[in-house]
Structure 1
Amino acid sequence: MISRTPRAEKDQTAADLEAHLLADLAQINVQSHNESIVLERRDPAGVLIAGLTADTSYGWVLIKIIWVAQHYRGQGLGRDLMRSAEEHARALGCHAAWLETSNPAAPAFYQSLGYSEFGLLENAPDQTPEDHKRWFMRKTL
C-alpha cells in the first residue's frame, strides 16, 4: 500500500530504504569504504554560509549538494569546499568524483575544477519547464 506520510517520516523511510539497498548491494558487489561527507562554513556569528554533502561508493564520490550564500559567492568558498571533499574522498580510497547540476552557470565552475561532462538530460521544446537541462559531470581524482 502506498501511503501519504509527513515529511519527517518520508525522510526516515528514504534513509531506511537506502540503508537496506546498500546492505543488499554490499553482499553482491565488492565495496570500497562508503561514507557520507558533510562540510560547512559559518560566519563569525555561527550562521551557515556554505556547505557541501557527498557520499562515497565503489571508489567514487558523488557530490550531492554544494551551496554558497549569495553574499559570499565569488570568494572561493565553493572551490575550497570542492577541494576539501575531493581530498577527503581520496583519503577514503576514491579514484573519481561525479555530480549532476541543473544550474546553467555551474558547468563552467565545475570545468574550472577539472570536471568534464559525461551526460546531459534536456527537456524537449514542448515540455515543462521549457529549456530545462541537467548536466552530469565527472573527474578523476
Structure 2
Amino acid sequence: MAMHAIEAAASNVAKDIEAALLADLRHRARQGRNEAITLSVSDADGTLVAGLSGSTSYGWLLIKVIWVAPEMRRQGYGRALVVDALSRAKELGCHSAWLDTSDNDAMRFYTGLGFDVFGTLQNQGPQVPLGHQRWFLKCPVM
C-alpha cells in the first residue's frame, strides 16, 4: 500500500476523508446533522470581498475560516457573516459554536460578538514563532 501526498488545490481527498470519518462515526454515536455552511459576500462586479466556511457536528458549529478583504473591514460584513452562520446552525439543531484564532484583532472581534475563551495554546521559551498564542472560543447559537 502506497502513501501519497496530495496537493489540496488539486484534489478533494480531504473532503472524502472527512466524509468517510463522519460516516463511520454515525454508526457509533448519534451526532445530529453534519452540514457545511459556506457564506460569501461579493461586490457589484462579482469579486469576493468576504466569506465564512464552517461545518456542524454533534450539535456544534465549527467556524473554520472567516475572511473580510482589508478594504471592507469595519463595515459589518464579518459580524453579518457570523450572525448568519449562527442562525443557520441553530436551524440545523446546533446549540453552540466554536472557533480558534491566533490574531489579536480577531480575538477582540469574536469576544465582542459574545464568544468566550475556553482554552489556549501558547508557544513557550524558544518555540517559534516566539510568543505565539492561539485562542479557542465558544458561544451559544442565538
Normalising by the smaller structure, the TM-score range is over 0.9
Match of 2:42, as an amino acid? R
Match of 2:110, as an amino acid? Y
RMSD of aligned residue pairs (Cα, Å): 1.2
Match of 1:108, as an amino acid? R
Per-residue CA deviations over 1:4-23 (Å, capped at 9, x if unaligned) read: 334445x4222221111111
Whole-Å separation in 2 of the counterparts to 1:120 and 1:6: 30
Whole-Å separation in 1 of the counterparts to 2:9 and 2:116: 36
Change (3 A) 1:119 1:68: same
> Match of 2:128?
128
Please give the secondary structure, in 2, of the residue aligned with 1:44. Answer: coil
Whole-Å separation in 1 of the counterparts to 2:114 and 2:6: 41
Contact 2:51 2:68 in 1 (8 A): yes
Which sections of structure 1, spanning at least 5 residues, go unmatched? none
1:65 aligns with 2:65: yes
Match of 2:75, as an amino acid? Q
Q: Structure 1 residue runs of 4+, over 3 Å off?
A: 4-9
Per-residue CA deviations over 1:44-66 (Å, capped at 9, x if unaligned) read: 11100000001000110000000
Shift of 1:101: 0.7
Percent identity (aligned): 46
TM-score (norm 2): 0.93
Contact 2:35 2:55 in 1 (8 A): yes
1:21 aligns with 2:21: yes
Deviates more, 1:88-97 or 1:14-23: 14-23
Per-residue CA deviations over 1:12-49 (Å, capped at 9, x if unaligned) read: 22222111111110100102111100000001111000
Whole-Å separation in 1 of the counterparts to 2:15 and 2:3: 17
Change (3 A) 1:64 1:5: closer
TM-score (norm 1): 0.94
1:45 aligns with 2:49: no
